[in-house]
Structure formats: structure tokens, C-alpha cells
Amino acid sequence: MTTKEEFTHFMASPAGRGLRVVAGLGLIARGVRGGGAGWAVLGAVPLLAGAFDVCLLGPVLGEPFRGKDVRRE
């Protein structure tokens, strides 16, 4: 398994999804605490990607977009 396959498999795992949600919440918290609205908007990206089980970098790396498709491989 290549490094990019390992990365997308991790991001599709429950731990990877949880990491994206926590990172998104952290960025949103930074924006709310005075970092500016840009941080909150940026935080929405990993939060929603984790919640909807998609990996935005998957297609860039030549891997599937949906987590379900990654896990099926």
C-alpha cells in the first residue's frame, strides 16, 4: 500500500473522521474567540468533510472521494 493510499484509508477511518471534526471545531472556536470569521469558515471545511464522510484530498491523490468507497477497496 502506498503512502497516499494509507493516508486516505486513515482519513476514511473513524479516527480520521474524528480528527477532522475536532480540527474543524478548533478552527471554528478560534474564529469565534476573536480570530476572525475566516477561521470559522475554514473550520467548517474539515468539520463538514468528517461529518459527511468525504475526503477532499482523495481525488487529488487519485483515490475515491467518499469514505465508503475507500473502505470498500
**What integer is the mean pLDDT of 10-38?**
92
**What integer is the mean pLDDT of 12-26?**
94
**What integer is the mean pLDDT of 16-22?**
94
Q: Which domain holds residue 56?
A: 3-72
For the chain, what is the domain count? 1
* Mean pLDDT, rounded, of the chain: 91
Distance, in Å, from the CA atom of 18 to the CA atom of 33, rounded to the nearest integer, reads 22
Please tell me the predicted confidence (pLDDT) of residue 28: 95
Coil, strand or helix at 30: helix
pTM: 0.82
Please tell me the predicted confidence (pLDDT) of residue 45: 94
Q: Flag whether pLDDT at 24 surpasses 80.
A: yes
